Amino acid sequence: MSDKHSDFIMLPTVDLCFKELMNNPKVRKGFIAALLKIPPHKIQKTTLRPTALRREYGDQKLGILDVSVLLEDGTRIDLEMQVLSFAHWDARALFYLGKLFTEQLQAGDSYAQLKKCIHVSILNFIHIPQDQEYFHSICLCDRKTGKEYTDLFELLILELKKLPAKKEGEDPLLQWLRFLGAKNREELKSMTHDNEYLAEAFTELDKLSSDEQKRLEYEARQKALRDYNSLMEDAETRGLEKGMEKGMKKGLEQGMTKGVSMGQQAALKRIMEHNLSRGRSLQEIADFLGMDLQSVIRLSQEEENQPIPPKP
């Protein structure tokens, strides 16, 4: 590799890179063992199932790449790396988990043949703001007793923006999540010393990053993600501005001061919610809004205590 690209390394938060990384059987085995919280030697074999780029709408240019894995006992696991905040992610994850489950059977097959299916969401944004847990394991259970109804359906949600401060003796899953969320070569390499599967993952990343064709594909995918994110932010900003204008116009009919205040507060709360969901700090939000930090802190406290007004 030329000096120009000597420090370049693909980042696993780009779904194309994550998918390529999971093509390596040892990497796949190590990550799935960490996910299922079992020793890697208990996973004898994992098989990649064919997948296609998932487009949410017919005319959408940016789809989502997934990794589908079949374990030796028949368990099916669908893994998705998502860097951008996505509306209705819960419904979407359930939809694809349902597809994963139902496509096991052909006409005439017995329901007894159905095996466990797991959908794994690895999210580089805050999806569940109500708590600080970075790992959620969700199953079907009885509301009254809390008893699990079946283990055939499971959703795993991993939020990279919620990882706690680093400490000694972290479990393999947390080590993997730190690796997947790393920002540069130095960070990635520093995590490989005591974990042979992470060491293999780093070696694979290094190899992928040295492949000129793979690098071009990665950079094209990275650009597509950035462009899509920019388009969504522009659209939301225009919507917020329209909402603020509508709120102030309504307020003018009831009293100028009250209208401006209500319109601005509603819009600012929407901006606050949007930026917090993307994992941005209060200081970053203050800089973005051109406000002092204390005002933004007060706004965030109001955000926690009061419901956000409905969108206009």
Return d(Cα 150, Cα 214) in angstroms, integer.
Answer: 41
Residue 6 is predicted with a pLDDT of 67
Instruction: Output 285 or 169, whichever has higher pLDDT.
Output: 169
Per-position b or e across 63-79, b if 16+ CB within 10 A of its CB: ebbbbbbebeeebbbbb
Contact by Cβ (8 Å): 99, 74? no
- pLDDT tens, residue by residue, 56-114: 544 444 566 789 999 999 999 999 999 888 778 999 999 999 999 999 999 899 999 99
CA 308 to chain centre: 24
Return d(Cα 261, Cα 248) in angstroms, integer.
Answer: 8
Return d(Cα 206, Cα 173) in angstroms, integer.
Answer: 22
Take residue 58 and report the two structure tokens written for it.
Answer: 């017919």
Residue 5 is predicted with a pLDDT of 55
Q: How far apart are the first and last CA of the chain?
A: 53
Instruction: Name the pLDDT band for 36 (thresholds 50, 70, 90).
Output: very high
Residue 291 is predicted with a pLDDT of 72
Q: Domain boundaries in the chain?
A: 3-210, 221-305
Residue 11 is predicted with a pLDDT of 95
Q: Please state, rounded to an integer, the average pLDDT across all residues of the chain.
A: 82
Residue 233 is predicted with a pLDDT of 63
Instruction: Output 52 or 178, whichever has higher pLDDT.
Output: 178
158 phi, psi to nearest 5 deg: -120, 120
Q: Report the predicted TM-score, pTM, of the whole model to 2 decimal places.
A: 0.74
139 phi, psi to nearest 5 deg: -135, 175
Return d(Cα 82, Cα 267) in angstroms, integer.
Answer: 27
Residue 94 is predicted with a pLDDT of 96
Q: Which residues pair with 119 in a beta bridge?
A: 78, 155
Residue 83 is predicted with a pLDDT of 85
Take residue 37 and report the two structure tokens written for it.
Answer: 């919280």
Q: Of 1-15, 74-88, 118-132, 247-261, give the range with the top mean pLDDT.
A: 118-132
Residue 260 is predicted with a pLDDT of 42
Residue 240 is predicted with a pLDDT of 56
Residue 65 is predicted with a pLDDT of 76
- Show Cβ contacts of residue 226 under 8 Å, excluding neighbours closer than 6 positions: none
Of 86, 158, 161, the C-alpha closest to 118 is: 158
Instruction: Output 252 or 206, whichever has higher pLDDT.
Output: 206
Mean pLDDT lowest among 27-31, 61-65, 296-300: 61-65
Residue 298 is predicted with a pLDDT of 79
Q: Average of pLDDT values for 127-139?
A: 94
Q: Which helix (H) or strand (E) holds 150?
A: strand 148-159
Residue 282 is predicted with a pLDDT of 77
Contact by Cβ (8 Å): 163, 181? yes
Answer positive or negative: Cα dihedral of 160, 163, 167, 172.
negative
Mean pLDDT lowest among 27-31, 45-49, 243-247: 243-247
Q: Is the pLDDT of residue 216 over 80?
A: yes
Contact by Cβ (8 Å): 198, 30? yes
Contact by Cβ (8 Å): 135, 156? yes
Helix, strand, or coil here: 76?
Answer: strand
- pLDDT tens, residue by residue, 231-284: 666 555 565 556 555 554 554 445 444 444 555 666 677 777 777 766 677 777
Residue 290 is predicted with a pLDDT of 66
Helix, strand, or coil here: 277?
Answer: helix
Residue 178 is predicted with a pLDDT of 97
Answer positive or negative: Cα dihedral of 169, 203, 181, 154.
negative
